[in-house]
Structure 1
Amino acid sequence: MEISDFRLKVIAHTDLIPGLPDDVVLNCILPRLAWTSFPSLLRVSKSWNAAFASRRIGDIRRMNPSFQERLLAVIHKTTSRPLDEHPDEISSCPWIMDTPLDEHPEEIYSCPWIMDINLAVSIYDPILCVWEELPPIPYIPYGAPMFTRCICVDGKLFVLGGCNSENWEPVQDVYRMDLATGLRKWEKCAGMNTARANFACTCYEGKIFVAGGYGRDGLVSSTAELYDVQKEEWLPLPDLNIPRSDCLGAVLNKQIHVIGGYTSLVYDLRDQDEPDSLSSNCVSSMEILDKQCKGWISTTTSTVAPLQAFAVSSGQLCPLTDGAMHKFNDDLTSGKPAMEGMLISHFSLEEDDDETYLALAAVSLQQEIYAIIRDTISCFGSGFSFCKGKKDKTCAQGTVVTWQPIECPFEIVELALSCCSVSV
């Protein structure tokens, strides 16, 4: 709820800064202060508290791009849970199955029921290179859902869907934190019409679009819906043409795209003997929501390998796969193989680094690409890094991107591979 200027004066009883007109302070001084300082600024005086809590400062920043800060939100693991707290869950883990426990020392630590499942959301300031961990969501036992998605609209950070950490059931819950107020407080919003986890999620013109994922029945879903942030209501969309889990969402040419994914749950495929089971269940196409939101248009554009991450940079879709970053053809519906485009760069975090990396989540921010990557030689559930790719130079093979690791005060895990850009 916003507070009027009149009510602001009634609450405050004092000028924002004695000797200066409030209009000058509100429009020229307070909006320039760093987002990380908002909580402490609330304690300066009643008038400052009212100005920030009313979202007045946030609205001024949003209307003036020069005041806005471009940040990143990342979901990650937080405090540990000792292994001896899970004696009963070890035997129930499907990835260990029925063989003796001592024959699977690596798999014990790769099983998500035995991994630490306390999760959190942190905000990263790429200018100051500092992280701030947000408070845990009070309605969730372990801080944040597993296999959830995060996205930011108009300075509000949303955490959507995912799985309950206690029973592993997908949920339809949605939580929101208004980053523009400085209060660092989570609120529960209207839930999605369908419970889902590992789904496509993107936003456009004040609306959040979700599609696919898997539901409480354990089946991959084709349902889709949108959330009107202003009206705070969910509206159904036509079903996708192909059920997809672990799919990705993007806005290209002012249209909603759902890209890639799998027709079966990825972790169920671990039991299959065929080495190409993941690839055979990969959905190597994308679907575009028509502008009237009446249906999805399937394209014949395909990927060479399962597409697990991409970034939209300069209006172009840049897949990150096979340890490298590519560009799609300009005409996404041409029917030509997607990877005929220009190779941009191989992941290499150090000059002598010859390891292969797989990108699992990525986002573009001010001409730079931030990605959660994993080296392919580590055991399942480990080897994750957060890195930044910056366009360095152009050569005959294309644009060279220099990748560098970002130091994180936390560990990234398979249970929470989600990041998004934040404008406050």
Structure 2
Amino acid sequence: MESFEFQFSELIPGLPEELGLDCLTRLPYTTHRLASAVCRRWHQLISSRDFYYHRRKSGATRHLACLIQALPPAYTATGWKLCTSLSYGITVFDPLSQSWDRIPPIPQYPDGLPLFCHIASTEGKLVVMGGWNPETYDPIVDVFVYDFTRCAWRKGKDMPSERSFFAIGASDGRIYIAGGHDGSKNSLKSAWVYDLRSDEWTELPEMNQRRDECEGLMVGSEFWVVSGYDTERQGMFDSSAEVYDLDSGEWRVVDQAWETGRCPRACVGMGKDGKLKNWSEAAPSVRVGACGMVIGTQLLVTGSEYQGAPQNFCLMEREGGQNSKITKMSIPEEYSGFVQSGCCVEV
């Protein structure tokens, strides 16, 4: 937002409106829920989209990593470990305070997230969509939006159709999806955009080819859909990518953008040189099952040294687009589980 106007007098009694707004702008995001309950004026201000963009322009927002992570195993009252399938929740890591937390479960899925669901974030909101029902393994079209201001979930409009293992990206209040496969395991080249503000879906032009198990990446005003494969080429990952220009509404193909035959899921990034990077190559300790995400000026990468090894969490500063020396982090036991995917939330 280029301008910010809120016609409230005495947001804080005794202070000019500008100073009152400055004080509320500086409030940490963790206090927004309580601050919104102070009065109606504060609630309208703090919950508005304009206030979010004002905070971002003022440098008052914070970058968080939101991870779809395996939850700690359950135990009986006598201490025996229950033999149940893995359940996943959403873990939040704040690199500034080095704190770890977990978002409350989605009310419709109290025992764990839908399997292989996708997450993305825009305008301080976290969006979870798709995946499989954790009890029946049936694909679902559910969309859920988490509001950090209210610390609450709301139900969004369902996806237009069943779609699994698709690419996802977010920009300016919209979530973009493309590719994946349908309920019959047929790979897709269709694409859609979900508008959080209107709670509506709009179909986009199709990609040039079908791409199952592709990976999405936002680069400026472009939505990159990396690799994937057609139905007849099961598991044979393509080296190309397709790029959707948000301004022109057109796709273009980028050949030789990715390593042929390598799954791109959760480990694709963009380097300063404009070429795709594989985060599994950041360090030997995260080369297996790598998941990476840029959080502000830092890069968080998780993974294992070898199959079956414990998860490692590494953090590095990114100065001028270049990666500095990577630092291995010490993680609380309850947040050390396998990370399936993640995204950065600016809140």
**TM-score, normalising length from structure 1?**
0.68
Is structure 2 residue 249 aligned with structure 1 residue 293?
A: yes
The reply to whether residue 61 of structure 1 matches residue 55 of structure 2 is yes
Aligned positions, number? 334
| Residue in structure 1 matched with residue 32 of structure 2 by the alignment | 38
Assess, with a 3 A threshold, how the Cα gap between structure 1 residues 57 and 259 changes in structure 2: closer, same or farther.
same
| Structure that is richer in helix per residue | 1
Is 1:407 aligned to residue 331 of structure 2? yes
- Please report the TM-score for the alignment, with normalisation by the length of structure 2: 0.81
SS in 2 for 1:123: strand
| 3-state secondary structure, aligned to 2:177 | strand
| Pair 226,392 (structure 1): closer, same or farther in 2 beyond 3 Å | closer
- Name the counterpart of 2:93: 124
Where does residue 291 of structure 2 map in the other structure? 361
Q: Which amino acid in the other structure matches residue 316 of structure 2?
A: G
Does the aligned pair in 2 maintain the 1:372–1:387 contact within 8 Å?
yes
Q: Which amino acid aligns with 1:324?
A: E
Using the TM superposition, name which of 311-320 and 360-369 deviates more.
Answer: 311-320
Quote the residue 2:13 is aligned against: 18
Query: Are 1:223 and 2:223 matched, yes or no?
Result: no
Give the letter for the 2:292 counterpart: A
| C-alpha distance in structure 2 between counterparts of 1:250 and 1:356, whole Å | 20
Measured on the aligned residues, the alpha-carbon RMSD in Å equals 3.5
SS of the equivalent of 1:38 reads helix
User: In the aligned structure 1, how far is the partner of 2:238 from the partner of 2:330?
Assistant: 31
Aligned to 2:310: 383
Give the C-alpha shift of residue 153 in structure 1.
0.9
The change in CA–CA distance for 1:254 and 1:183 in structure 2 (over 3 A counts) is closer
Whole-Å separation in 2 of the counterparts to 1:356 and 1:159: 25
Is 1:324 matched up with 2:274?
Answer: no
State which structure, 1 or 2, has the greater radius of gyration over its C-alpha atoms.
1
Query: Alpha carbons of 1:399 and 1:50: their partners in 2 closer, same or farther (altered >3 Å)?
Result: closer
Matches within 5 A, 1:170-185: 170-179=139-148, 182-185=149-152
1:39–1:220 distance in 2 versus 1, CA, 3 Å = same
Q: CA deviation at 1:55?
A: 5.8
Per-residue CA deviations over 1:258-279 (Å, capped at 9, x if unaligned) read 102344699xx8xxxxxxxx5x
CA–CA separation in structure 1 for the residues paired with 2:20 and 2:220: 39
- Write the distance in 2 (CA, Å) between the matches of 1:324 and 1:404: 15
Assess if the C-alpha contact under 8 Å between 2:286 and 2:312 holds in 1. Answer: no
Q: Give a deviation string over 1:116-135, Cα, whole Å, max 9, x none.
A: 22x22232211111123211
What letter is aligned with 2:101? E
Matched, 1:282 2:206: no
Looking at structure 2, the residues matched to 356 and 152 of structure 1 have their Cα atoms a distance apart, in angstroms, of 24
Shift of 1:230: 3.0
Structure 2: state its 5+ residue gaps: 77-81
User: Contact 1:141–1:165 (CA<8 Å) still a contact in 2?
Assistant: no
Identical aligned residues as a percent? 23
Q: Distance in 2 between matches of 1:265 and 1:377?
A: 29
Runs of 4+ residues over 6 Å off in structure 1: none
Deviation sequence 1:62-100 (CA, Å, 0-9, x none): 3x24122122211223354469xxxxxxxxxxxxxxxxx
